[in-house]
Amino acid sequence: MADFGGDLDTFRAEAREWIEANFPASLKGRPNPMMREERSKPSEDQEAWRKAMGSKGWGVPTWPAAYGGGGLSPAEGRVIQQELGRAGAYNPIGGMGVMMFGPTLLEYGTEDQKKEHIPPIVRGDLQWCQGFSEPGAGSDLASLQCKAEDKGDHFVINGQKIWTSGAQFADWCFCLVRTDTSKKHEGISFVLFTMHQPGVEVRPIPLIAGNSPFCETFFTDATADKKNLVGPLNGGWTIAKRLLQHERSGLSGAGGSGGFGMAAKPLPKLAKDYVGTDEKGRISDSDLRTRII
Ligand SMILES: Cc1cc2nc3c(=O)[nH]c(=O)nc-3n(C[C@H](O)[C@H](O)[C@H](O)COP(=O)(O)OP(=O)(O)OC[C@H]3O[C@@H](n4cnc5c(N)ncnc54)[C@H](O)[C@@H]3O)c2cc1C
């Protein structure tokens, strides 16, 4: 459906008023804490802002209201983003649940799966990580070997993932597992499981800059309930490809939800505000450049 915007003045006024009433002044112009790799306990104001946006559904403005989303049009969603930017506010609802997993589950999940998993993402209560890449399965992702065995009402998962961004902070994992070794793409399933279980071990990978944006993640008899198989058994590759489309559009800024929950400012402006520029207008310090991305 075409989305030409229409008359949005009334909605803009409503959004402006709500943001003014709910966004804590102490957070104005402050960076989004979700963008930091080292997570400290959120302040009271940060929590209040997350809860306000989470219950309003405006962190994911275009997601269906039936699951807690804003239920707004893309044009109204853009107004929210613009008004957040105008107020110096960030979108506190983000991460991989928003950018990749939520939109995919809305398309491929059962009604029960959507009711269980979408609202906590909308509220920012739970964070997700992506268990796709393996040491022997990067560009050729479909050669993945992490195995899930059918144990009746659940799967038992054994194997290793790598480059799992934010796994050390994640509550849940959306994971590609091998459920049939006789086929390549048609032997992969898409499962969900909690990271808070004994069979999951996360080892952050230290980079030379001292930070650890991604991890090695090991599964030893980890379990996933059958109800958390998304799509058909051995039908995970189709779902994975769709999720990767959302990942690409989110990273390129084309997604409608604000991607990782970035502040509603263009990245160059954000970077200049953060670190300043040299006399030629460029961001001068390469170490700082690394840290702000
Ligand atoms: C910032 C960042 C965050 C990431 N976060 C996650 C995450 O959260 N979860 C996750 O699952 N993955 C994540 N990844 C992994 C990513 O999605 C890719 O799967 C991974 O980077 C590519 O695999 P690899 O590193 O094993 O490279 P390889 O596949 O080994 O490729 C290495 C090089 O070889 C080239 N190459 C590969 N095959 C061929 C070929 N047949 N012919 C010619 N050239 C070839 C590639 O183009 C590349 O230049 C992340 C990656 C980055 C950079």
Q: What is the pLDDT along the chain (293 residues), one digit of tens a residue?
A: 445 556 799 999 999 999 999 999 999 988 888 766 566 788 999 999 999 999 999 999 999 999 999 999 999 999 999 999 999 999 999 999 999 999 999 999 999 999 999 999 999 999 999 999 999 999 999 999 999 999 999 999 999 999 999 999 999 999 999 999 999 999 999 999 999 999 999 999 998 888 888 999 999 999 999 999 999 999 999 999 999 999 998 886 654 444 344 445 566 666 776 667 776 666 667 776 666 55
Is the CB of 139 within 6 Å of ligand 1? yes
How many A from CA of 131 to the centre of ligand 1?
A: 13
126-245 classified as CATH 2.40.110.10: yes
How many A from CA of 139 to the centre of ligand 1?
A: 5
Contacts of 293 (CB under 8 A, 6+ apart): none
Give the pLDDT score at 208. Answer: 87
The protein residue with its alpha carbon nearest to ligand 1, atom 31, reads 139
9-100+255-292 classified as CATH 1.10.540: yes
Segments making up each domain of the chain, as ranges: 9-100+255-292, 126-245
End-to-end CA distance of the chain: 34
Is the CB of 145 within 6 Å of ligand 1? no
> How many whole angstroms separate alpha carbon 148 and alpha carbon 142?
15
Give the pLDDT score at 34. Answer: 75
Is the CB of 228 within 6 Å of ligand 1? no
Catalytic residues: 247
Give the pLDDT score at 230. Answer: 98
Give the pLDDT score at 6. Answer: 61
How many A from CA of 247 to the centre of ligand 1?
A: 14
Give the pLDDT score at 269. Answer: 67
Is the CB of 165 within 6 Å of ligand 1? yes
Q: Which of 128, 144, 163 is the best mutation target for the ligand 1 pocket, counting ligand atoms within 8 Å of the beta carbon and taking the most?
A: 163
